Amino acid sequence: MALIMHTLHVDLGARSYPIYIGRDLLGDPALLARHLTGRQLVIVSNDRVAPLYLGRLRDALDPRVAVTEVILPDGEAHKTLESFEAIIDRALAEGHNRTTTFLALGGGVVGDLTGFAAACYQRGAAFLQVPTTLLAQVDSSVGGKTGVNHPLGKNMIGAFHQPAAVFIDLQVLQTLPEREFAAGLAEIIKYGLIREAGFYRWLEENLPALLAREEAVLAEAIERSCATKAAVVAEDEREGGVRAILNLGHTFGHAIETAQGYGSWLHGEAVAAGMVLALRLSADRGWVPAAEVDALVALLCRAGLPVLPPADMDAGRFLALMARDKKVVDGRLRLVLLRAIGHAVVVDDVDGQEIDALLSGAVAL
């Protein structure tokens, strides 16, 4: 029997949906059944997650539901149009009509791919998310961003498609490798930095309990993260304005991921190093005290996250890669900086020289 510890309602008018946070959600037949559209289900997972959790999920399904399982190879390298096509091919070959439901069982890669397949399947099918990494739980659960990578950049092909429900099962975090757990913490820390100073201080205090994966503390951190993201997204569903603050550390981070090849740095790791750069830039402008940079570095280090970009990436490399970023508007690089802890702003006046100074400083950090 599932224990629902928090239910968060993401309020998007006709596209509103619940996020359930708790234990054994995966094995609750009634909870799943309530959110199926028709009598068909396409479960997408990967070859690392499926052996751990697919059985429990399958056992919880009404036997009258026609289920197709698509198991992809694990990893960001497979977040491609080819994988998207593989999902669509299987769903069509097995006769799924547009009242079918797509369920993503996995991390961000599986979620983004499955959501995009659902968005495009016969011009839009229902989508459920069972995120199995901490990062996916606090990031892709809210916002409706779906998509795949392109050799020329991350998430360059995609759609906005809201899930019908998200099931965050805390038990799946117990088997998550340490490095991936830390990558999720990076995004959680981000929510504190951009908008919730109190939450940020709470995280500094409660990091040991989080690292020990105590369920109640995890549930609270996830709930506050999702709520923060939901509040930002509700103000700006299609990313025209305030939503951009969610990209703190991401423009630098995407450049790192692209330069190193998808999958060599985890997304959360690249964001961690990117957030340090953004905070240093903010400190260089006198917006936050230099001591806050040190405090963030200390927090990320305790969480086991990188605080420096790869040694081989100089300002020129960053600038060239960032120029291709989606955040570039009519040739001007847009970056998220902090006016204070808990108060992010978007700027478009950072020039090459400032990045140059920042990165020569970063190496000396």
Question: Which residues are the active-site residues?
Answer: 123, 145, 187, 229, 239, 243, 247, 250, 254, 267
Which of 4, 77, 81, 319 binds a second copy (CB under 8 A)? It is 81
- The H or E element that residue 207 is part of is helix 197-211
Cβ atoms of 103 and 130 within 8 Å: the answer is: yes
Q: Which span sits near a second copy by CB under 8 A: 54-62, 196-204, 322-330, 343-351?
A: 322-330
Q: Cβ(193)–Cβ(155) under 8 Å? A: no
Show the DSSP H helices in 23-106 as ranges: 29-34, 50-59, 81-93
Write down the least CB distance from residue 43 to a second copy, Å: 19
18 interacts with a second copy by CB under 8 A: no
Count of CB atoms situated within 10 Å of the CB of 58: 13
Task: Note the Cα 47 to chain centre separation in Å.
Answer: 20
Instruction: Choose which of 56, 285, 317, 324 interacts with a second copy (CB under 8 A).
Output: 324
**By the rule CB under 8 A, 88 interacts with a second copy:** yes
Residue appearing with tokens 């916002």? 143
Residue 9, interface with a second copy (CB under 8 A)?
A: no
Is residue 97 a contact residue for a second copy (CB under 8 A)? Answer: yes
In one-letter notation, the amino acid at residue 259 is A
Has 172 been labeled as part of a binding site?
A: no
Contact 33, 179 (CB under 8 A): no
- Considering the rule CB under 8 A, would residue 291 count as an interface residue with a second copy? no
Q: Quick one: 120 or 219, whose CB is closer to a second copy?
A: 120
* 344: amino acid identity, one letter: A
Is residue 212 involved in binding a second copy (CB under 8 A)? no
Residues whose CB falls within 8 Å of the CB of residue 241, separated by 6 or more in sequence, listed in order: 235
Q: Which segments of 220-293 are extended strands (E)?
A: none
**Three-state SS at 45:** strand
Which x/- pattern, by CB under 8 A, does the window 215-254 give for a second copy? -----------------------xx---------------
What is the C-alpha separation between 235 and 257, in angstroms, rounded?
Answer: 29
Q: Is 124 in the site for a second copy (CB under 8 A)?
A: yes
106 near 46, Cβ under 8 Å? yes
The minimum distance between CB 124 and a second copy, in angstroms, equals: 7
93 near a second copy, judged by CB under 8 A: yes
Question: Binding of a second copy at residue 65 (CB under 8 A)?
Answer: no
Distance CA 87, CA 41 (A): 12
Q: By three-state DSSP, how is residue 214 classified?
A: coil
Is 154 annotated in a binding site? The answer is yes
Does residue 157 touch a second copy according to CB under 8 A? yes
Residue 166 Cβ vs a second copy, minimum distance, rounded to whole Å: 19
Q: How far is the CB of 204 from a second copy (least distance, A)?
A: 34
Where does this chain bind a second copy (CB under 8 A)?
Answer: 38-39, 81, 85, 88-89, 92-93, 95, 97-99, 119-124, 145, 147, 150, 152-153, 155-160, 238-239, 323-324, 326, 328-330
